Amino acid sequence: MKDNSAPTELYMTGSAYNWGTPAGDPNAWKALVPVNGTKGTFWGIFYFAANDQVKFAPQANWGNDFGFAATISQASVDRAGLSDSDGNIKVGKAGWYLVYVSVIGDNRVVEFETPNVYLIGDTSHDGWNDQLAEQDLFTIPTDADGSFVSPAFAKNGELRICVHPEAAATDWWRTEFIILNGKIEYRGNDGDQERVQGKAGQKAYLNFSDNTGKVE
């Protein structure tokens, strides 16, 4: 019988995270965010230095871990300069990436995508009429500590933010998040998040290195 089991959590460790030591440490095992209502799928935005190496596991410890043996598209290999280093995924091109991972049984898929972040809804350039538009993309920093910065809000209203992994091909709200009390809060598998209001002319700033954000 085909194994259709899937983890409910997924973590990444590697050379930049002390290779998972100590176990359970959130600085040694970086949690990925579940795609809402989508079995075995996860995402995260991370900065990689050139030659960083990573692996993934369904808990914040070693066991059932995997790396380059996963299915990885040629587009991801080319984009991030990925290669196999003793079973680890080695990143050849430094920068920010949206990492998308799907795990169903032994079928494991890893993608390194451009980390496109979008304004959605009221504060976006054309409200709800034009979703995931290029005009609503955040800028992508070039350094590890830089902030992703939104366009100026077009008008007053609810602030909604999302990514949209190409590999997921799903509704935007399944990968949304918000800024609450100075922190990036991810929807994951939860319901609608607390509403945050923005004013015309303000911008949203996201720092994925320390999971902080602000609107000003």
Q: What is the pLDDT of residues 154-176, one digit of tens each?
A: 999 999 999 999 998 889 999 99
Confidence (pLDDT) at 169: 81
pLDDT in tens, 20-71: 999 999 999 999 999 999 999 999 999 999 999 999 999 999 999 999 999 9
Ordered DSSP codes for 14-38: EGGGGGG-STT-TTTSEEPEEPTT-
Q: Does residue 22 have a cis peptide bond before it, meaning omega lies within 30 degrees of 0?
A: yes
Are 105 and 35 found together in one domain? yes
Within 10 angstroms of residue 107's Cβ, the number of other Cβ atoms is 14
Are 106 and 199 found together in one domain? no
Q: Is residue 2 part of a domain?
A: no
Q: How far apart, in whole angstroms, are the C-alpha atoms of residue 38 and residue 25? A: 26
Q: How far apart, in whole angstroms, are the C-alpha atoms of residue 100 and residue 72? A: 10
Domain boundaries, position 23: 11-113
Which of 98, 113, 128 marks a domain boundary? 113
Are 147 and 205 found together in one domain? yes
pLDDT in tens, 115-152: 999 999 999 999 999 999 999 999 999 999 999 999 99
Of 44, 41, 18, nearest to 31 by C-alpha is 44
Are 105 and 121 found together in one domain? no
Give the count of domains, the chain: 2
User: Domain with 79 in it: what CATH number?
Assistant: 2.60.40.3620
Confidence (pLDDT) at 84: 98
Q: Is residue 66 part of a domain?
A: yes
Of 93, 89, 96, nearest to 13 by C-alpha is 89
Q: Which two tokens stand for residue 22?
A: 């100590």
Amino acid at 36: N
Ordered DSSP codes for 129-157: GSTT-GGGBPB--SSTT--EEPPPPSSSE
For residues 97 and 115, the answer to whether their CB atoms sit within 8 Å is yes
Q: Is residue 5 part of a domain?
A: no
The answer to whether the predicted template modeling score (pTM) of the entire model surpasses 0.85 is: yes
Per-residue pLDDT at 2 exceeds 80: no
Are 80 and 41 found together in one domain? yes
Q: Is residue 1 part of a domain?
A: no
Are 109 and 133 found together in one domain? no
